[in-house]
Structure 1
């Protein structure tokens, strides 16, 4: 890499300093999810078939509120760049109020949305497990919202190492607890998929409990007034909601596209659904660290915009994309070179060799699709993160909304329900969706329209 880009402000070194802890943090979250699905996959084929649809369905509704809450990171980043520490705690508290309100809404949907799960048409034994898992996650859904807001206090200021350590502690507790509650080890009862849900909520709770004394310490009160700036700020909240709603809606639509894809795949049978769930779980290993990089880019762009330096923002985005390419290429090579090894990690113990051979046969093809779109996934993540950091969230929301319907929902529905096409068609549609959005975000950033935007 050129030495000038390494040493300059907002170059490779700054991108790595801020983004790497976030990538590691996301990687720990991914490891938590992957081990959860490995344990469930080895527990029963019904459990692994139920885990991803129910998990994505829960995350679909959580994602809207999480997307809104996550935009606190951009406000804090821009206030930090503009040297306005007095506004950091104000931003934090408004995000906390929103997160608590979102928790009430999400918990109330835990039982009300059961008919949505039933509409998926999945086998009865899978549906029963989906409902159990979904309800547990929804009742604890406010915890990741609080986590998102609280972590923004650090990530928005570029202090991402704290976020990494806290998330690693959460993962370190979740993994053994997950195993114990799923299988029934020692004093813990065997709870199957319910145990996986309880372990996840427990780790969410621990993360929030660690953040609270750190953020509301005497030192942060002296610098940012984190305790005394608790009052509701109507003017700030209106501005926060204006930008945050677009971000939340975009996040919701993106997750909805994936959720709809999974449910359409589910209509093709349990084996195909299990193979797709395994492939998407593996895909998370590449996606979530790259998403951490995108959050880091959003922070750097926000700080650059706050300083009035769009050239810094362009430099940070360019460097981040180069780093994302290295990571994505590495993962793409693994998908092509060792697909059977990766898929076998999730093998349900009751599947005989003939049944698992079918899962492998489908899974190998899905990993090839993933290898085909993986660089475009990195492109989409980095450049959408950069646009969000500048405040260009309405464009992102409109783009995702349009192509979610035009490229995902309508073709997937017609392909399965009307024309009876197979899983390869669905995965082709998924690949096209990633490719189109990545190019749109890239050319939008290149246009420079975001340089005239500011959220503060």
Structure 2
């Protein structure tokens, strides 16, 4: 009985800390849908302009947001060590690190016209993309500030408070869109301004929930912590941005092969999001609990926590994968709006997506191992190795492999296999298997090294 009780504790702890994170991450999808809904009511060109920069937009936010995500681990370790004042000292540093991203965002805003000229979109779509991009980037620091507050709260284990801050932002986004797009007549630029203001509402709510905490930090300590967040956060951001950009290029590859391949890939990516967001919430929660255990100098708790999180994530991915395999054809038809009287192009996309759904469902279990291992390593403070492995895997291995398997040729003298979408998604599965093996080996090595440290040698 004692063993059963001990075994259930990590599960309960993970679910308790993770469900608000799952809801918080899901809210990001809701905010994106809100912007899409409003853009569609401006014009088709506005919707095309918004879509043209959506992946790049996300890559910038997660790339620069790494300096904010990084605060979760030192806060979690300080909380685990019972050093409440040291934990609180990280919030000003996180806010300052986020503020220092402002010049990067302003430079990206200024570069918008030249950047989207390279896309060779229709003139009106390019104009709409720039109209959204420039104010969105100019206010992009608000996104990183909200990341900083949410990550700080996650490190403390106060994930419900983080959910409250993000709920406030999502709720404010709707009336702000209506007011700035239509009432103020700003068009798609109004949607960008609305997102910035909504994020600032979320930041204000989050800081309001922390108002009772006192922050007394010397300038030297503040500067040192800010530099540390940039040092550890940049690899996190680069890896996340590489992931997003790799999937954006993958989508473009499939679209280049043909409309059926492009549409089928978009449908399948939409389905995988159903599995990804809850798994990301569990992974983030596990990083906090691992950080607490490390800070408390209780390495014996880390292994069970990590194994439990991996089993939960893999189980969730397997469950969603089984549901996709069983209900996939009907779900894909509903997502695509495809019926018996639609054109042959839509039917071809649906047929291709349906044929691929088993492969996509299977690889997600491996993806759960990658995600869970990366966040466990983050909680253990092993950030650079995981970030480097993910970046190299996404950009230097996956993209060339996907191109070789998918296209008929890579140039006049470079033959390729030409498997189409099957080749592209096979590359996704192969990369997931390779990273799962690499991350698993690295995690075992770090855990063994941690458990080998005797209590007498651990820091007080």
- Give the TM-score taking structure 1 as reference length: 0.83
CA offsets 1:120-141 (integer angstroms, 9 cap, x no match): 5667676555544444432332
Taking the aligned partners of 2:297 and 2:118, their CA distance within structure 1 comes to 50
| Residues 342, 89 of structure 1: alpha-carbon distance in 2 compared, 3 angstrom cutoff | same
Does residue 441 of structure 1 match 2:439?
yes
RMSD: 3.6
Taking the aligned partners of 1:23 and 1:274, their CA distance within structure 2 comes to 28
CA offsets 1:238-283 (integer angstroms, 9 cap, x no match): 4333322322222232223223223323433556444433432332
The residue correspondences of 1:341-420 to structure 2 (distance < 5 A) are 341-343=330-332, 347=336, 353-354=342-343, 355-365=345-355, 367-414=357-404, 415-416=406-407, 417-418=410-411, 419=416
Q: How far did residue 288 of structure 1 move?
A: 1.8
Map of 1:316 onto structure 2: 305
Taking the aligned partners of 1:257 and 1:110, their CA distance within structure 2 comes to 22
Q: How far did residue 431 of structure 1 move?
A: 2.5
The residue correspondences of 1:247-396 to structure 2 (distance < 5 A) are 247-269=236-258, 272-343=261-332, 347=336, 353-354=342-343, 355-365=345-355, 367-396=357-386
Query: 1:102, 1:142 within 8 Å by CA — same for their partners in 2?
Result: yes
From 195, 220, 224, the counterpart of 2:213: 220
Map of 1:431 onto structure 2: 429
Q: How far did residue 108 of structure 1 move?
A: 1.8
Query: 2:242, 2:395 within 8 Å by CA — same for their partners in 1?
Result: no
Does residue 68 of structure 1 match 2:56?
no
Q: How far did residue 340 of structure 1 move?
A: 4.9
The residue correspondences of 1:125-140 to structure 2 (distance < 5 A) are 130-140=129-139
Q: How far did residue 197 of structure 1 move?
A: 4.5
Flag the structure with larger Rg. 2
CA offsets 1:94-134 (integer angstroms, 9 cap, x no match): 11111111133123202415555454566767655554444
* Structure 2, unpaired ranges of 5+: none
CA offsets 1:135-175 (integer angstroms, 9 cap, x no match): 44323321221111111232111111111222233334446
Q: Could you tell which deviates more after superposition, 403-412 or 19-28?
A: 403-412
Taking the aligned partners of 2:353 and 2:232, their CA distance within structure 1 comes to 39
* Structure 1, unpaired ranges of 5+: none
How many residues align? The count is: 442
Query: 2:181, 2:189 within 8 Å by CA — same for their partners in 1?
Result: no
| Residues 199, 335 of structure 1: alpha-carbon distance in 2 compared, 3 angstrom cutoff | farther
Taking the aligned partners of 2:326 and 2:123, their CA distance within structure 1 comes to 36
Q: Could you tell which deviates more after superposition, 250-259 or 4-13?
A: 4-13
Query: 2:61, 2:140 within 8 Å by CA — same for their partners in 1?
Result: yes
- Give the TM-score taking structure 2 as reference length: 0.82
Q: How far did residue 28 of structure 1 move?
A: 2.6
Taking the aligned partners of 1:190 and 1:237, their CA distance within structure 2 comes to 37
Query: 1:278, 1:363 within 8 Å by CA — same for their partners in 2?
Result: yes
| Residues 330, 388 of structure 1: alpha-carbon distance in 2 compared, 3 angstrom cutoff | same
User: Higher relative CO (CA 8 A, sep ≥ 6), structure 1 or 2?
Assistant: 1
